[in-house]
């Protein structure tokens, strides 16, 4: 009791010692607040400077482009005769990421629900650790595994999709070796630990009172999850999915190894059973052409589109989360 009284006298009571303690706390608060604000400003400045650099480097080449940058499928970055467009690259990038998210998001949510709501503790902890270890595997290992081990096992499925659904543009055309479809499935495995880990942490924080209240009202296990756990973790799941999507959009090495390149000047095709190049793999495959500002600017323009695409994805996710919070 005396110690509590003593602290109260120092914290609240008048006198030199109390003033000194309050001054120390105020200085600490000011230093911490200033450091946190500086960190935020630095992050924003890095993003802004990156966008400015990409724009300044890309605009001259885009202005000298002899074809439409957004709708052309040509890509020739020869100095003095720039003819490059991103239509095919954009389609391949979005397609691979879409396939990955369609597979990874349901699996990630299912894994997270199992580990937090169904699995016993002796199983949940080691299973979560094993899933988290998938994130530590280098991209080049995923790429080699995908093209050498996994791809041959998907040949039959791709052939069947082509035979049965070949009339649909996404599954038409001849089936190539390293396809968009294979890359999307491998990429789903790569982003799965991100989505699972974030969703698991959010679901585990669901208030016990919410779950116990639903069960007390006669809800089944699934009804309790549907009415208590999923609504509570919706914003976190969306954030996890968007973070995984950002990872998928920017993946380079694995996609470069898996997806076979198409012939230069090929016309646009929408099939997922053929090869292609994403923004990141296009830049990586042609790094040797960064020998003059014009050619380099063409590839930086592709990087700028990827930068803007990633920014838009995160902005849309933030809008969705805020709307759901407003209507919650």
What is the per-residue pLDDT across 34-66, written as a single tens digit (0 to 9) for each?
888 899 899 999 989 999 999 999 999 999 988
Higher pLDDT, 244 or 287: 244
Q: Is the pLDDT of residue 185 over 70?
A: yes
pLDDT computed for residue 46 by the predictor: 93
**Mean pLDDT along residues 186-194:** 93
Q: Which domains does the chain have, with CATH numbers?
A: 38-326 (1.10.3720.10)
**108/116 Cα distance (integer angstroms):** 12
What is the rounded average pLDDT of the residues 76-80? 84
Do 69 and 85 touch, CB atoms closer than 8 A? Answer: yes
pLDDT at 327: 54
pLDDT of residue 18 exceeding 80, the answer is no
pLDDT at 267 over 90: no
pLDDT digits (tens, 9 = 90+) for 274-317: 888 899 998 888 887 788 888 899 999 999 999 999 888 888 87
Lowest mean pLDDT among 90-94, 186-190, 235-239: 235-239
**CA-CA distance, 86 to 91, in Å (whole number)?**
8
Q: How confident is the model at residue 2 (pLDDT cuts 50, 70, 90)?
A: very low
pLDDT of residue 268 exceeding 60: yes
Mean pLDDT (the chain) is: 86
Where does the pLDDT of residue 14 fall: very low under 50, low under 70, confident under 90, or very high at 90 and above?
low
Q: CA-to-CA distance for 145 and 187, rounded, in angstroms? A: 12
Within 13 Å, how many C-alpha atoms sit on residue 309's CB side? 22
Instruction: Choose among 141, 145, 181, 191: nearest CA to 160.
Output: 181
Out of 4-13, 68-77, 160-169, which region has the weakest mean confidence (pLDDT)?
4-13
> Taking the model in full, what pTM does it have?
0.85
DSSP string, 33-92: HHHHHHHHHHHHHHHHHHHHHHHHHHHHHHHT-SS-TTT---EEEETTEEEE--HHHHHH
Mean per-residue pLDDT, 109-131:
90
236 compared with 9, residue with greater pLDDT? 236
């Amino acid at each position: 009791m005396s110690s509590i009284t003593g602290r109260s006298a120092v914290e609240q009571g008048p006198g030199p010692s109390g003033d000194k303690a309050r001054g120390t706390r105020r200085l600490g608060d000011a230093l911490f607040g200033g450091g946190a604000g500086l960190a935020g400003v630095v992050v924003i400045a890095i993003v802004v400077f990156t966008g400015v650099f990409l724009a300044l480097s890309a605009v001259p080449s885009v202005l000298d482009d002899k074809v439409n940058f957004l709708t052309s499928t040509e890509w020739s970055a020869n100095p003095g005769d720039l003819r490059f467009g991103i239509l095919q690259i954009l389609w391949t990038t979005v397609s691979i990421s879409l396939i990955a998210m369609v597979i990874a998001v349901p699996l990630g949510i299912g894994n997270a629900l199992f580990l937090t709501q169904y699995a016993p503790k002796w199983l949940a902890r080691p299973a979560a650790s094993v899933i988290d270890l998938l994130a530590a595997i280098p991209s080049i290992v995923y790429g080699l595994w995908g093209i050498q081990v996994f791809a041959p096992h998907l040949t039959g499925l791709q052939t069947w999709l082509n035979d049965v659904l070949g009339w649909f543009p996404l599954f038409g055309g001849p089936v190539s070796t390293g396809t968009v479809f294979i890359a999307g499935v491998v990429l789903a495995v790569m982003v799965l630990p991100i989505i699972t880990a974030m969703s698991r942490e959010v679901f585990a924080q669901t208030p016990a009172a919410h779950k116990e209240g639903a069960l007390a009202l006669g809800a089944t296990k699934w009804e309790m999850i549907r009415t208590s756990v999923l609504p509570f973790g919706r914003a976190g799941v969306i954030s996890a999915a968007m973070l995984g999507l950002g990872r998928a959009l920017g993946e380079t090495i694995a996609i470069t190894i898996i997806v076979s390149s198409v012939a230069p000047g090929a016309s646009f095709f929408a099939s997922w059973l053929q090869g292609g190049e994403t923004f990141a793999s296009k830049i990586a495959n042609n790094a040797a052409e960064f020998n003059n500002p014009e050619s380099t600017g063409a590839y930086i323009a592709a990087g700028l589109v990827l930068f803007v695409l990633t920014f838009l994805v995160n902005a849309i996710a933030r809008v969705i989360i805020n709307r759901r919070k407003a209507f919650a």
